[in-house]
């Protein structure tokens, strides 16, 4: 812990990753929320980064829900939340067991393909069981890597929701998922108390990020919002693929 507190690089990467995650959550429905863990993983182990981020994600989700909850689409939430819970349960059993480089590679490739191939949207939106497919994948990857944004945005992009409805629905979805993830994280026995205190120290940065995200989305139209979400999905996918390949070659 002492080495982290005195490391300027840790604070720099943590600040960048948390602010971008906060902006993503309250401004772009979590599309680039995967950026924090890869950045933190440059200076701390991936499991440590994952546990460090969970309290911060809960704070950011709470603020995002506070901003937008009146616009939520509850029918969509009923379609994806049960699947996400199943994914979280599976992820809880796989914590520390499944190579994250394989998950990152597969998720990254899927995200890139969808972001670049716009004609996939109508097909994914109408195919049978899409809510269960993407909801469960989101719950699984969120539990293991805090990378639940790309798969659920694949589903939400296909639904063509208005901007505020998208933000509210995604905010409640991620808030519920991250709250449920506390159970397997605690049961894993890998969450030290000192790491929780470090998370609490970073909360002001998380709140700054969500505030910036709310300000940014107010200046973006629905059309540009969709383009931004596709761009963030592409960015997220590329980031995941690059990190997984680095892990394979390392």
Q: What's residue 198's pLDDT? A: 92
Q: What is the largest CA-CA distance in the chain?
A: 52
Per-position pLDDT tens, the chain of length 250: 667 777 888 999 899 889 988 888 888 776 666 778 777 877 788 788 889 999 999 999 999 999 999 999 999 999 999 999 999 999 998 887 777 677 778 778 877 877 787 677 667 666 788 889 999 999 998 898 888 888 888 888 888 888 899 999 999 999 999 999 999 999 988 888 889 999 999 999 999 999 998 998 888 776 777 677 778 778 878 888 888 888 778 6
pTM of the model: 0.84
- Report pLDDT for 2: 62
- The pLDDT score that the predictor gives to residue 125 is 63
The Cα–Cα gap between 35 and 235 comes to 9
Q: What totals of helices (H) and strands (E) does the chain contain, helices first? A: 13, 0
- Sequence-separated (6 or more) residues with CB below 8 Å from residue 150: 31, 34, 107, 108, 110, 111, 141, 233, 236, 237, 240
| Mean per-residue pLDDT of the chain | 85
Domain of 41, in residue numbers: 2-249
Question: How many Cα atoms occupy the beta-carbon half-sphere of 78 within 13 Å?
Answer: 3
Query: 6 — phi, psi (to 5°)?
Result: -95, 5
The residue assigned the tokens 């959550």 is 25
Number of domains into which the chain is organized: 1
């Amino acid at each position: 812990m002492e080495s982290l507190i005195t490391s300027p690089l840790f604070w720099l990467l943590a600040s960048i990753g948390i602010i971008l995650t906060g902006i993503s959550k309250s401004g772009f429905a979590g599309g680039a929320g995967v950026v924090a863990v890869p950045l933190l993983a440059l200076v701390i182990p991936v499991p440590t980064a994952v546990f460090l981020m969970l309290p911060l994600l809960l704070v950011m989700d709470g603020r995002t829900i506070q901003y937008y909850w009146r616009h939520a689409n509850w029918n969509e939430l009923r379609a994806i939340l049960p699947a996400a819970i199943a994914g979280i349960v599976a992820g809880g059993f796989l914590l520390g067991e499944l190579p994250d480089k394989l998950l990152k590679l597969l998720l990254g490739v899927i995200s890139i393909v969808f972001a670049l191939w716009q004609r996939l949207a109508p097909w994914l939106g109408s195919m049978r069981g899409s809510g269960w497919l993407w909801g469960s994948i989101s719950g699984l990857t969120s539990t293991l890597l805090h990378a639940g944004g790309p798969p659920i945005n694949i589903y939400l992009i296909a639904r063509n929701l208005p901007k505020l409805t998208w933000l509210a629905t995604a905010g409640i979805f991620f808030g519920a998922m991250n709250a449920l993830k506390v159970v397997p994280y605690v049961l894993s026995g890998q969450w030290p108390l000192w790491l929780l205190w470090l998370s609490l120290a970073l909360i002001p940065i998380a709140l700054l990020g969500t505030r910036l995200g709310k300000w940014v989305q107010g200046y973006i139209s629905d059309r540009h919002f969709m383009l931004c979400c596709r761009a963030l999905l592409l960015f997220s996918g590329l980031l995941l693929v690059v990190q997984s390949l680095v892990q394979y070659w390392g």
